[in-house]
Amino acid sequence: MDPRAGTPAQPQDLIDTDAVVGAYYDRTPDLDDVAQQVVFGTSGHRGSSLDGAFNEAHIVAITAAIIEYRRAEGTDGPLFIGRDTHALSEPAWRTALEVLAAADVDVRVDARDSWTPTPAVSHAILLHNGAGTSQGVRTTGPGLADGIVVTPSHNPPRDGGFKYNPPHGGPAGSEATGWIAARANELMRSGVGSVPRVSAERALAADTTRRHDFLTAYVDDLSSVIDLGAIRDAGVRIGADPLGGAAVEYWAAIAERHGLDLTVVNPTVDPRWSFMTLDWDGKIRMDCSSPYAMASLVHAMAAADGGASPYDIATGNDADSDRHGIVTPDAGLMNPNHYLAVAISYLYGGARPGWPAGAAIGKTLVSSALIDRVAGSLGRTLLEVPVGFKWFVPGLLDGSVGFGGEESAGASFLRHDGTVWTTDKDGILLALLASEITARTGRSPSQLHADLVGQFGESWYARVDAPATLEEKATLGKLAPEQVTATELAGEPITARLTAAPGNGASIGGLKVTTENAWFAARPSGTENVYKIYGESFVSAEHLARVQSEARDVVSGALG
């Protein structure tokens, strides 16, 4: 923990945006260095131009590879492209347009020449492909749309990111991203100078580049998924902090369009994020699930004459608005797992009568077991999947999953009529849901979480890291259940040893061990020489510490 965590950023913490953008154009990646090659994680390719990991050559190559991929898949409709507020996002967006226009790809850019949240891109793809119509979303056939979002999500200001969403509207699967990354690296090795391009001016003026009003389409359609009338009629006072991200204009438009008592707490957009408080490690990071990054909003929630809160609900989003943070007057920033459990209990507890009776509850296997207990009480099927929102896409598309949520504060759910809204995470949606919950129950989400604790018990949840070599990380990602020889964990018999997700049988790329009152999961980091240990105990904080300690021993024993 950095001693300045939660304190305002100082001049020495800020990036030199000219240097970051200059390195994007000037630096040539060293492809003998794995860290400078194209690598797609769960949310696309990310890196910094200063490290040779996110430069013009990367974006030329990735865009060219996406063009080849979509042609091979028969995707010949428009490609919707959006960007967030990171310094590298606009240069990368322009580079992509130059390559797309040269290839005569039908591209849709923002009509306001502004920022576009990830959920608005997913929403646009799905609407084009049939969402909200009687035939539903098409994922095969002519004229299908797909998309690109230029964003590193909540990463620090020095970083850039680039992700692809195929016609299903959600994050591309590993087969697609693996092919795109491999082809992009081939193109970089052979020289991206051979990739056809036109100037940015010609690209923007091309007949194949058209304007799309992402904001109006998204904001006007929100009433199909959120009870905005209840929020308005109850007079819920909302404080929305975009954290300098792509949602800033969306929140203002939502307030005006739907007549909500909503204040944009901080409308400032600064690619240095000079207004942020530092995260746990002393870095500027737009992580709306972090109490350190969200310190200013938590303070704003409490700072008022006489001690009264100025808002009934305050919310934050990361830079591309696919994550949510919920702040209540009585509890401050809610733990993401706590809010997910409340949202599920509310939505499936009668708030969405139009949903299919068999719609499952989706959670990642490192999310709280409180969700399991809530699902059991509701008599609903629990779909437990590996880490990554892509696993919820098929269920959200066909309505077999009503809600999909990740422990990292990302989720989406169906429209009132049980049809798909977005197949990517939607932080704006989940933030508005907190206000709907308050309006319709008369209680805050944190108060409702206290009710769940009274019903199902209190739990303690945390994630810690443990050192691991590259070889150990590779072994951990390929473990078999029989390699775990331990029979007890923190004084309780082990009830399951999982290397595949119960919900779909997909590999979890690690290990999960459960007991009656606790569990841990271990997964190798994709960027550091550590593995992540997620753990939860329904006994005590001390018991969780014991689970975490013994988890290291269990993993070490399995690794041999």
Active site residues: 153
Distance CA 485, CA 230 (A): 54
Burial of residue 350, with CB atoms counted within 10 A of its CB: 0-12 exposed, 13-18 middle, 19 or more buried: exposed
Distance CA 207, CA 202 (A): 10
Burial of residue 453, with CB atoms counted within 10 A of its CB: 0-12 exposed, 13-18 middle, 19 or more buried: middle
Q: Given the DSSP bridges, would you call strands 518-524 and 40-41 parallel, antiparallel or unpaired?
A: unpaired
Burial code of 161-170, b = ≥16 C-beta within 10 A, e = fewer?
Answer: bbbbbbbbbb
**Residues 6 or more apart from 444 whose CB is under 8 A from it?**
312, 313, 328, 329, 330, 331, 437, 438
Q: Alpha-carbon dihedral of residues 467, 471, 473, 479, nearest 10 degrees?
A: -130
Q: Alpha-carbon dihedral of residues 80, 85, 87, 91, nearest 10 degrees?
A: 20
319 contacts 153 by C-beta, under 8 angstroms: yes
Q: Which two tokens stand for residue 139?
A: 């994922």
Beta bridge partners of 212: 110
Burial code of 60-87, b = ≥16 C-beta within 10 A, e = fewer?
Answer: bbbbbbbbbbbeeeebbbbbbbbbbbbb
Beta bridge partners of 406: 410
Query: In 10 A of CB 541, how many CB atoms?
Result: 11
